[in-house]
């Protein structure tokens, strides 16, 4: 087996941040580290490549509830992070209209704009531009979120939910059983929501935001 490279380890940290919809500095803060711990400028010193400390890795795994196996998967995966591809983009308010998603919850139609984003494994990934204040303080008007329909979702994930009635919302997945979905609002001025699973069109995980 080939030796691990600096880039693989740092890509693993970046991948962990992306998985939890955080920037590298946001990941560091979540773990109780200095916000600059994972900055690009800290990854080399006078041209000499630097490794992140095992303590910092242990802290981010604990803070995100991730296992060492999760991190190793991110480190060793062969999905290319080089270059970029175009991802479809619409405004959040448009996402509830007919014609933008197929029955499987994948983006379709000609009404989408496109933005360049580093290549990711989900061929059906799309972007939404946040409007309004209902998602404060987490997401502000004008923020963009990248959403992965193919990513598995679990308790604690930030998700985009669309009901069969066309209502679209961004919430925290509080609990999902075989019959019900419980969603927590980010903004305390908006109530939490509970749906029967049969009312849900799709639940997609947010994998990145521009915040």
Half-sphere exposure of 176 (CA within 13 A, CB side): 18
Residue 126 scores a pLDDT above 90: yes
Q: Is 17 helix (H, G, I), strand (E, B) or coil?
A: helix
Name the average pLDDT for the chain: 87
Q: Percent of the chain at pLDDT above 90?
A: 50
Instruction: For residue 17, give the nearest of 32, 42, 38, 41 by alpha carbon.
Output: 38
Q: What is the pLDDT of residue 84?
A: 64
Per DSSP, the chain holds a count of helices (H) and strands (E) of 4, 11
Global pTM?
0.62
Looking at domain 6-76, what is its CATH homologous superfamily?
Answer: lambda repressor-like DNA-binding domains (1.10.260.40)
Q: What is the average pLDDT across 141-168? A: 93
Give the least confident one: 36-45, 52-61, 111-120, 195-204.
111-120
Domain spans in the chain, listed from the N-terminal domain onward: 6-76, 85-209
Residue 161 pairs in a beta bridge with 169, 203
- What is the reported pLDDT for 71? 84
> Would you list the DSSP string of 77-117?
-----SSEEEEEEEEGGGGGSTTSB-TTS-B-SS--EEEEE
98 or 46, higher pLDDT: 98
**Mean pLDDT score, 45-67:** 88
The mean pLDDT of 190-199, rounded to a whole number, is 96
85-209 CATH fold: Umud Fragment, subunit A (2.10.109)
Q: Is residue 169 within 8 Å of residue 193, measured between CB atoms? A: yes
- Tell me: the pLDDT tens digits for 2-38? 456 788 888 889 888 887 878 889 999 999 999 999 9
């Amino acid at each position: 087996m080939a030796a691990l490279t600096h880039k693989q380890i740092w890509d693993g940290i970046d991948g962990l941040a992306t998985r939890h919809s955080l920037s590298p500095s946001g990941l560091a803060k979540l773990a109780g580290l200095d916000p600059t711990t994972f900055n690009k400028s800290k990854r080399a010193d006078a041209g000499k490549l630097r490794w992140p400390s095992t303590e910092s890795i242990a802290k981010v795994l604990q803070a995100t509830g991730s296992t060492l196996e999760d991190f190793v998967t991110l480190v060793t995966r062969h999905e290319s992070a080089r270059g970029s591809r175009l991802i479809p983009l619409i405004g959040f308010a448009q996402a509830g209209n007919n014609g933008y998603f197929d029955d499987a919850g994948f983006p379709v139609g000609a009404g989408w704009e496109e933005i360049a984003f580093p290549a990711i494994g989900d061929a059906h990934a799309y972007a939404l531009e946040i409007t309004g204040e209902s998602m404060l303080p987490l997401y502000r008007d004008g923020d963009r979120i990248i959403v992965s329909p193919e990513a598995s979702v679990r308790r604690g994930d930030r998700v985009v939910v669309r009901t069969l009635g066309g209502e679209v919302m961004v919430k925290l997945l509080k609990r999902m059983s075989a019959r019900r979905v419980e969603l927590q609002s980010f903004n305390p001025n908006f109530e939490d929501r509970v749906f029967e699973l049969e009312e849900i069109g799709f639940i997609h995980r947010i994998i990145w935001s521009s915040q």
